[in-house]
Amino acid sequence: MRFTNMFIPTLRETPSDAEAVSHKLMLRAGYVRQLAAGLYMYLPLGWRVMAKINAILKEEMDAIGAQEISLPVLHPAELWQQTGRWDEIKEEMFRLKDRGGRDMCLGMTHEEVMTYLASREIRSYRQLPQSWYQIQTKLRDEARPKSGILRTREFIMKDSYSFDADEAGLDKSYELHAKAYHRIFQRCGLEFYQVQSDPGMMGGKGAHEFMAPSPAGEDEAVLCVSCGYAANVELAGSISPGERFKAEPHDIHAAKTGDGCPKCGAALKIERCIEIGNIFKLGTKYSLPMKAFYLTEDGSERPLIMGSYGIGPARIAAAAIEQSHDGDGMIWPASIAPFDAEIIPLNIKDENTAKTAEALYNALNEAGIETLMDDRDERAGVKFKDADLIGIPKQVIIGERNLKEGLVEVKDRRTKEALKVKPDEVLKAFKS
């Protein structure tokens, strides 16, 4: 892609209402713009990152046998009334009436609709297990949207739901998802923890959250470096030093750094985190009220045993920026960067520069390396600043000075190390 054909409105100054690093940089680098509180517009660069993340999500979901489907955002109230959540949930749910006066709501999550589908279509144990997922819009009328893209009223979520014949099946589906989530976050280049969490209103009997450490996060994880115990502070029952091994499981209170680990007694560490994913064992919380039953081998009727699993791709993007940036801008992990490489011809009006850039651009694209070429007629400084801001991992700098010796520069955005190579060696330099 050529810079002049792509809308990349970079800003020299940070809009004053941005606080979180990821928010500031996404605005400055021209990845997103705000429409209203908690509502964001993704611009070409931002949307490319989302597409990269979603592609990874799909690959890993497909790899565990989950199947992609798509459900409506607009839901009839009846489904939510059946599970009781129509009344349990308050202002956080967007509600409306259709022209016939029927109560409707905008989906904040899809347990109801998924269970409805399963209840009508799954008849027999022979059809189990099933895992269905979608990457789709959720709406929540948040009391306080914040930190840019981190907490919004409308957001995209990868949500999957598993249907099993029994608890053992659920355990398996749950494990599969947990492992897939590990691979996803690893592939996205994030530092993260899997921690125990409170199942909360989702109901059910077990839950974990995936937490990306970052000061911009809203959650706190309690971690034991000694035995590996990890939990959300909301859940972590801890004991104070000197009272070892006397943790009261029901005594749930906020743990503090230095408290004793409930498992091994060692000193706990607390870290601020962004919740990037969660997994829940739902059991029959939705299948019972919605009558989602199947027939067993001996002909008896049993409720489906369910799990639900969510990932917020925008939070992955924000967490990646929070965890990987410097004073000049973003530093994308290669896997989710909007482009693999950026060609920077310093003086586009120089014939040799332009020719070399053009040839390299074609060669890289042909080699399957997604390349952005800054073909703007701008000064070198502007291009350098924008390139660093935008954060594409590899930069290929083409300047008249080096070109006289038949060389171009391959620079790593993260380390800032630059290698001078011949144009036809650029590909090789990427691999090293």
Count the residues in the chain.
432
Q: Is 13 in the site for RNA (CB under 7 A)?
A: yes
CB of 176: closest distance to RNA in angstroms? 21
Q: Is 96 in the site for RNA (CB under 7 A)?
A: no
CB closer to RNA, 68 vs 198:
198
Please give the angle made by the CA atoms of 312, 313 and 317, to the nearest 5 degrees: 120
CB of 396: closest distance to RNA in angstroms? 11
- Which contacts (CB < 8 Å, 24+ apart) does range 335-338 have? 335/52, 335/56, 335/187, 335/188, 335/189, 336/49, 336/52, 336/53, 336/56, 336/188, 336/189, 337/49, 337/52, 337/391, 337/392, 337/393, 338/45, 338/46, 338/48, 338/49, 338/52, 338/372, 338/390, 338/392
Residue position matching structure tokens 């810079």: 3
Residue position matching structure tokens 């996404």: 26
Question: Which residues in 119-148 contact RNA (CB under 7 A)?
Answer: 140, 142-147
Question: Which residues in 264-303 contact RNA (CB under 7 A)?
Answer: none
- Which of 60, 271, 375, 388 lies at the binding interface for RNA (CB under 7 A)? 388
Q: Is 327 in the site for RNA (CB under 7 A)?
A: no
Number of residues that bind RNA (CB under 7 A): 63
Decide: 146 and 22 in contact? Cβ < 8 Å.
Answer: no
CA distance 124 to 369: 47
Q: Is 370 in the site for RNA (CB under 7 A)?
A: no
- Which of 25, 53, 202, 233 lies at the binding interface for RNA (CB under 7 A)? 202
Contacts of 88 (CB under 8 A, 6+ apart): 201
* Phi, psi values for residue 208, rounded to 5°: -130, 155
| Pattern 57-86, RNA, x by CB under 7 A | ----------------------------x-
- Which of 100, 299, 368, 381 lies at the binding interface for RNA (CB under 7 A)? 381
CB closer to RNA, 115 vs 147:
147
Q: Which residues bind RNA (CB under 7 A)?
A: 10-17, 19-20, 23, 28, 34, 36-38, 85, 88-93, 108-109, 140, 142-147, 151, 200-202, 218-219, 328, 346-347, 349, 379-382, 384-389, 397-403, 409, 411, 416, 418
